[in-house]
Each structure stands twice: as structure tokens, then as C-alpha cells.
Amino acid sequence: MLRMVLKGMMIGIANIIPGVSGGTMAVSMGIYDKMIHAATHLVSEFKKSMQVLIPIVIGAAVGIVVLARIIEYMFAKVPLQTNFLFIGLIVGGLPAITKKVRGKSIRGGHILAFLLFFGIVAGLAMLGEQEGEAADISFSFLNAIKLAGVGVVASATMVIPGVSGSMMLMLMGYYNPILTEINEFMEHLATFNVPGILDGCLVLVPFGIGVVVGIFAIAKVVEIIFEKFPDYAYWAIIGLIVASPVAILLMNQLGSITVVAVVTGVAALAAGVVIALNLGGE
């Protein structure tokens, strides 16, 4: 239970960092297949699915709400080391995927899938260097519909390994407004500011509905792909994972590069790999 909550925390943190994919982190933590299966069999295997999803959701919520400010502080104070830590967390999960295709013949289509999805992630990261104009999230019926649609897009990309949901939010101009709204909502909740809580709900509820719809919709598509074309899917994910460190370095500031920063950065990278290898176990 605790291990699953910790894995969920890693996924939650990953989802709020531009360039870092929650789906990739789920792969690195060794629970991606379980998450997809639980999401697509929620009705037919309700009890079993909830045993998987509840601790992950709790962990993700803690990661987003509680640890977000700590990670934000780390990025501000030690950006190189923090980026390397997340690169380590992602790279540490690569062996779990490569073993799925180890010993199998490599076809031209597998290489194409690898290169295609590597290019998608790297390309999105380069586009993501410029954030879209901040979107209007003031309450209106039209904005509520837009927020639900944005939630669908963001959550769908969060589920796909290698594609950063926060990066997509940034490109659409919703990243900072949504993140600010979440932080303000938590402050209103802590002080029991009822008007502030209700105002936050007018934004976060339609966005949250879109997130839930997006996750379940894309999870079914992913499950079908894994059933029909497993080898191609794994090679695509390998491409996404290999491209993720490139995306992280392109999307985030590295700060001052000194000998001490590089040495401690390498140590953070190694720590990330070790954490991923240990948490990635069953």
C-alpha cells in the first residue's frame, strides 16, 4: 500500500513539471500496465481496480498538492540537480521496458516507431520553449466547456508515456492559470474561506471532469494498442523515454553550471536511478 502511494506521489509530481511525463514516470515505477488495466476494467473488476487506483490517486494528490511547492523551491534553488534527479527517475525505469523486447527480432517498423515517438517528444519540447498566452479561466458557460476540453487533452497526454501533460497545458496557455488556481484553492481550503472555495470549484470542477474523461478514454485506446501491437508499442515507449531527458533539459532552466553543481547533479541522477529501480519492483 505504502509503496503504491509513493509511486503515485512520483507520478503526481511528474505531471506538474513541464517536460516530465506522468505516463513515463508510471512506466519507470513499474505500474503503467496495472493502471491502464484498472482504468479500463473499473466496472467489471471494481474491487481489484480500486485497490490499484486508490493508493495511486492518493499519492498523486499528495505529490501535486503538498510536494509541488517543495519541487518548485528545488527548481528555483538547485535547478540542475533537480532536473538530473528526474532524468534519473526516468532512466531508471528503462530496463523494465527494454526487457519486454529483449531477445526479439528488431524490424524496420520497430525502429520507425522508436524514431517517430522520439521525434514527437523532442519536437513538442522545442515548441514548448514559448508558453502560450495565459488563458481566461473566469467563470462562464463557454469557459467551463473549454476547461473540460483542456482537461481531456491534458489528462490524455498525461497517460501517454513521454508526453508531458503540463507541457501541453503550457502550450495552450492554461498551465500557470490552473496551477495558480490550485494553489489558491488549497489556501482557501486551509482557512475555510467558503466563497474562495466555491470560486475555485467553478474552475477546477469542469477541468477535473475533463481530466477523468480523458484518462479513461485514452486508457482504453492504449490497452487496445498493447493487445494488438505490443512490440511496436514497447518500441514507441522506449523512444518516448529516451527522448524525455532531452525534453526536460529543453523545457527547464539549468541555472549556473559549476563543478559543484555538476558533481551534485550526477549524484542526484544516480539517486534518481536507484529510487526508480527500487520503487519499480513489485
pLDDT category at 162 given cuts 50, 70, 90 is: low
The better pLDDT of the pair 214, 172 is held by 214
d(CA 223, CA 234): 12
Mean pLDDT score, 38-59? 88
Identity of the residue numbered 195: P
The better pLDDT of the pair 264, 75 is held by 264
**pTM for this structure?**
0.66
Question: Nearest Cα to 182, choosing from 158, 157, 148, 208?
Answer: 208
Domain boundaries, the chain: 2-279
Whether 269 shows a pLDDT value over 90: the answer reads yes
Tell the burial category of 281 from Cβ atoms under 10 Å away from its Cβ (0-12, 13-18, 19+). Answer: exposed
Question: Nearest Cα to 212, choosing from 137, 161, 147?
Answer: 147
pLDDT, tens only, 202-235: 989 999 899 888 888 888 888 888 888 889 988 9
Tell me what pLDDT residue 260 has.
92
